Structure 1
Amino acid sequence: MRKLPNHLAHHDRADDVATSSLHLADVTMFWAAESGGVKRYLRAKHDFLRDTRWRHTLVVPGTADDASNEVAVVPGVPLPMSAGYRVPLRCGPAERALCALSPDLIEAGDPYWLAWAALHAGTRLHVPVVAFCHSDLPAFFRRLGGPPAELAAAAYARNLYPHFDTVFVPSRYIAQKVADLGVQRIELQPLGVDTRLFHPARRSLRWREQLGLPRDARVLLYVGRYAPEKNLHVLCDAVDRLDDGSVLITIGSGPTPPRGKHVRALPYEGDAQQLAAAMASADVFVHAGDQETFGLVALEAMASGVPVVTCSAGGLAELVHETVGYAVPHCRADDFAQALRALRQRDLVALAHAARRHAMQYDWRAVLPQLQHRYLTLLGQQADRVKETSRPAHERLRANHKR
């Protein structure tokens, strides 16, 4: 059983934990110049905690140039065709970095070496360690190596996740996947969106003009990784089937960039303001990925007042419904083309307002206090456990007898 950190050991009640200045350390390999949803989650959380009494530090693979007062880097080798991700080959350096930081709570954001480093450091520091499950590991490895790889990944995850004090999941889809692995301590914790950044007011005719698009062009937008699991070929085929002046604009990077007569593939956009302008300037946001654990980018589109057409799979099936667009039942070009045609018959103004209202429920300013409360609950539970185990044996026996 883990002990409470020394500076919290004097607390008699879980609520007292909230009055202390606490330190959270996030450790993940999903941090690079062209990272996606995990990085946006960590940045939003960092900004939120900066306005509280919490200290927040990241431990990520990188180079010395990436280090700062708020980012500790550990060695890692570049992962080919991954938009800059690095993979640690050992968990020792990250474990030592975490121990040197001496946080009150550790969150692991990937299931690889750094997750084990977090667990080892938590044991040495006697602090709670949580995991945030951002990916469906067995499904990812099934795509890479077929059923044998899927079975091996499931066995690995089944061994890893029960060691954490709790496992956060962003959707019911992933909750069920993790529960199927035999994990019991699971908490549903959705991601969120910056509704001040992603806003309909950022719609810009200039953005369209810079791309040389006709004024009457119907812009379908995809933002995300150019990777096989995103099924970009489905979107390319769908826009070809439409043949109605629609153009598919994609923004991202990766090993499988989309191609097609009506497709314009743009590079990764690291400027948040420019990305928000692109979102708001589209007519429809499209996403054919069938393994999304949440669907953060679709939520950003909805916050921008843009209707969405996605595949009804994974976390997107929970996030997208008919009031904001369509979640097509099958990830096929014909289904997407049919949904995009049907969308033309809808009241686009009503769709835009509905999309914005739906996204507002996931504003980071509402989501992150929930997450912070879960952190405090974990720390409070640990304080109670330490208090209980520190009581003389005869008092514990008497208390159990009264129950």
Structure 2
Amino acid sequence: MHARTTLTRPVNLVDFPAPDRGPGAFHVVDATMFWSPRGGGVKSYLRAKNGFLQREESIRHTVVVPGAIAAASPQVPGLPLPFSSGYRFPLARNASARVLRALKPDVIEVGDPYQMAWSALDAGQASGVPVCAFFHSNILEMAQRLAGKHARQAAAIYVRKLYPHFDRVFAPSAHLVSQLHDLGVSRAVLQPLGVDTTVFHPQPADGSWRARHNIPPDAVVLLYVGRFAPEKNLPLLADAVERLGAPYLLVAIGDGPVTPRGSRVRVLPYEAGREALARAYADADAFVHAGDQETFGLAVLEALACGLPVVGAKRAGVGDLVVDAVGITVPPGSAEAFARAIVSLRQRNPDALAKAARAHALSYDWRNVFPPLIQHYRQLAHGPERIFDIAPDRFDAAGAQPVHRHS
């Protein structure tokens, strides 16, 4: 038996399996506007959660995302959001709340801070069920980037207005938990995201991915995987690699409105296949990420799980993941600092870096990450009685094997 999963969006866009569950199954409903056909961290999280919950016969799982108007399946009407790589904005707070109520959830988790969040609170209050929020998007940093410190202050007021209403607020880094507590969100707790270490694991650098994309075998490949969004600071990475010159090459996989450009830059299209991405990590020399608004950094964790060292911005999210043993963090905003850090990383022992990166990532395997989350749901919905028996799998980090990289 598998967890029943329903996606309230036009059919065929997403193919979550939906085997039947009995009427007594505990019903977890996720709702978010952060869902795109072109990937994204929230989509990866929800797919991984669904895969985990499929093994739990006592749990049913439904995902609610905005869809096209007048779609055949039950859904939340939404309009495409420009320059967002496929996100849709829900049109009506009441309509979204009605959809959520009709699903008869035992617990609701909302993954964005916008209209869907208020709809979830409405549905929870009307149904008498707990509502949680996952702080996937740091709207404080985003507001400051877009419009300066006054916008950040306005965003802080909004956070204080919205998030104290939730029964629990999950934040993926200790820095964000502290930030939310400072804003009066006392129910914020640490809930990291994770990685599938059975897919993303060290492999020999056999050059097959390089050959397929005509990347020279002697190039020092600095890999970026993710959305090409303003907050990712991809032009800074392009500037850094230009400063380094040959044989350094920035390879950026993804799409979005801010495509990196330069003579030492190669852009590859969005890659949906996880195995194909793992092959890219295996043939790269380092992963680079200059984003200064990350709440976690799933692609960074995938790279680490593959034994790939990281140079990243020293900010919450990426800065928390990249400890000294697995890479280097630098103050955000400086192409020169990134260039120096990349050179410094290249001077370290690649096998030691690979082994440490893998060991570090193993503690974030989804099979370790999800059980505490489900226990939060249990405590909120049913009090202290234990209704699930979901024990986290543990991995022996000492068994991590090094992978030999390009010297």
TM class by shorter-chain length? 0.7 to 0.9
Letter in 2 for 1:231: N
> Which residue identity does 1:320 align to in structure 2?
V
Q: Which letter does structure 2 place at the counterpart of 1:56? A: H
Distance 1:73 1:203 in 2: 44
* Secondary structure class of the residue paired with 2:147: helix
2:87 matched residue in structure 1: 85
Amino acid at match of 2:40: G
| Corresponding letter in the other structure for 2:26 | L
Residue 161 of structure 2 aligns with an amino acid whose one-letter code is: N
* Offset, 1:57: 0.2
The structure with the greater share of residues assigned to helix is 1
The residue number in structure 2 matching 1:399 is: none
Residues 1:62 and 2:80 are matched in the alignment: no
Amino acid at match of 2:216: P
Could you say what secondary structure the match of 1:200 adopts?
coil
Which AA in structure 1 matches 2:296? Answer: F
C-alpha separation in 1, matches of 2:375 and 2:267: 41
The answer to whether the aligner puts 1:30 opposite 2:34 as a matched pair is yes
Output the amino acid matched with 2:37: A
Given that residues 220 and 249 in structure 1 are in contact (C-alpha distance below 8 angstroms), is that contact kept between their aligned partners in structure 2? Answer: yes
Using a 3 Å threshold, how does the CA distance of structure 1 residues 383 and 306 change in structure 2: closer, same or farther? closer
For 2:64, the aligned partner's letter is V
Contact kept, 8 Å, 1:129 with 1:164, in 2: the verdict is yes
Given candidates 126, 144, 147, the residue that maps to 2:146 is 144
Q: Deviations over 1:191-250 (max 9, x none)?
A: 000001111127552210011111111110001111111111111111111113011000
Rounded to whole Å, the distance in 2 between the matches of 1:366 and 1:51 is: 14
**Taking structure 1 as reference, are residues 176 and 366 closer, same or farther at Cα in structure 2, changes over 3 Å only?**
same
Checking the alignment, whether the CA contact within 8 Å between 1:136 and 1:177 is kept in structure 2 is no
Specify whether residues 187 and 261 from structure 1 end up closer, same or farther in structure 2 by C-alpha distance, changes over 3 A only: same
Q: In 2, are the aligned partners of 1:198 and 1:280 still within 8 Å (CA)? A: no
| Structure-to-structure mapping, 1:51-200, within 5 angstroms | 51-52=55-56, 53-63=58-68, 73-200=75-202
Change (3 A) 1:330 1:74: closer
Letter aligned with residue 60 of structure 1: V
Poorly superposed stretches of 4+, deviation over 4 Å: 64-68
Q: How many angstroms does 1:21 deviate by? A: 2.5
Q: TM-score, normalised by structure 1?
A: 0.86
Alignment correspondent of 2:325: 323
> Counterparts of 2:357 and 2:347 in 1: how far apart (Å)?
17
What SS does the aligned partner of 1:250 have? strand
CA 1:66–1:253: 2 relative to 1, 3 Å: farther
Distance, in Å, in 2 between the alignment partners of 1:330 and 1:291 is 10
RMSD: 1.8
Q: 2: distance between equivalents of 1:216 and 1:260? A: 19
Which residue number corresponds to residue 4 of structure 1? Answer: none
On the 8 A contact 1:203/1:278 being kept in 2, the answer is no
Task: Report if the CA contact (8 A) 2:311-2:328 is conserved.
Answer: yes
More off after superposition, 59-68 vs 360-369: 59-68
Cα pair 1:119 1:164 within 8 Å, conserved: yes
**3-state SS, counterpart of residue 201 of structure 1:** coil
How many angstroms does 1:181 deviate by? 1.8
1:282-321 counterparts in 2 under 5 A? 282-321=284-323
Are 2:42 and 1:43 aligned? no
Shift of 1:101: 0.5
CA deviation profile, 1:112-171 (whole Å, cap 9, x unmatched): 010011000001110000000111112211222223322222211211001100101000
- Residue 337 of structure 1 corresponds to which residue in structure 2? 339
Percent identity, aligned pairs only, is 54
Query: Structure 2, unaligned stretches of length 5 or more?
Result: 1-23, 387-407
